[in-house]
Amino acid sequence: MLLDERRIDDYAALFTTDGEWVGNMGRAAGREQIVTLMRAGLDVTTDESQGSYHFVFNPHIDVSGDTASARSGFAFVARDPEDQPDVRMIGHYEDLLARTSEGWRFTRRQAFLDIPWKRTPRW
């Protein structure tokens, strides 16, 4: 929801200060780089009628003390020219998380595109 609303700073705050985001748009380490990467890779929307939606589903989370790993699916849906849903991509996330004084935060989020298939480097 934060990315769909283009609340990029709030999205980056979901990561630890040195957290990493890796995916089809590139790799970013630290909140500032995540903000820069997301702003460069996401279209600017002028109003809600142009919005997109990220759906996250089937999360599997393993917690071990103050750390966790997770895997979940995602779908990215935008609007077609007739204002109908258009599924643009489907993929999955592989996440590492840590419990911090701010709450649970991503230490690493890696996004893989499954449809259309695109090999995402495993940095």
Compute the mean pLDDT over every residue in the chain, rounded to the nearest whole number.
89
Helix (H) or strand (E) holding 25: none
Three-state DSSP at 10 gives: helix
By the 8 A CB rule, do 38 and 45 touch? no
Q: Does 18 reside within a domain?
A: yes
Q: Does 43 reside within a domain?
A: yes
Max avg pLDDT among 20-24, 39-43, 45-49:
20-24
By the 8 A CB rule, do 108 and 96 touch? yes
Q: Does 3 reside within a domain?
A: no
Residues 6+ apart with CB under 8 A from 75: 54, 55, 57, 87, 89, 90
Q: Does 40 reside within a domain?
A: yes
Pairing of strands 85-100, 26-29: unpaired
CATH number at residue 104: 3.10.450.50
Confidence of residue 45 (pLDDT cuts 50, 70, 90): low
Q: Which residues pair with 110 in a beta bridge?
A: 22, 94
Q: Does 123 reside within a domain?
A: no
Confidence of residue 11 (pLDDT cuts 50, 70, 90): very high
Domain count for the chain: 1
Supply the range of the domain harboring residue 69: 8-115
Q: Does 107 reside within a domain?
A: yes
The whole-model pTM stands at: 0.87
Confidence of residue 55 (pLDDT cuts 50, 70, 90): very high
Low-confidence winner among 42-56, 71-85, 92-106 (lowest mean pLDDT): 42-56
Q: Which residues pair with 106 in a beta bridge?
A: 15, 97
d(CA 25, CA 40): 9
Q: Does 91 reside within a domain?
A: yes
By the 8 A CB rule, do 38 and 27 touch? no
Q: Does 79 reside within a domain?
A: yes
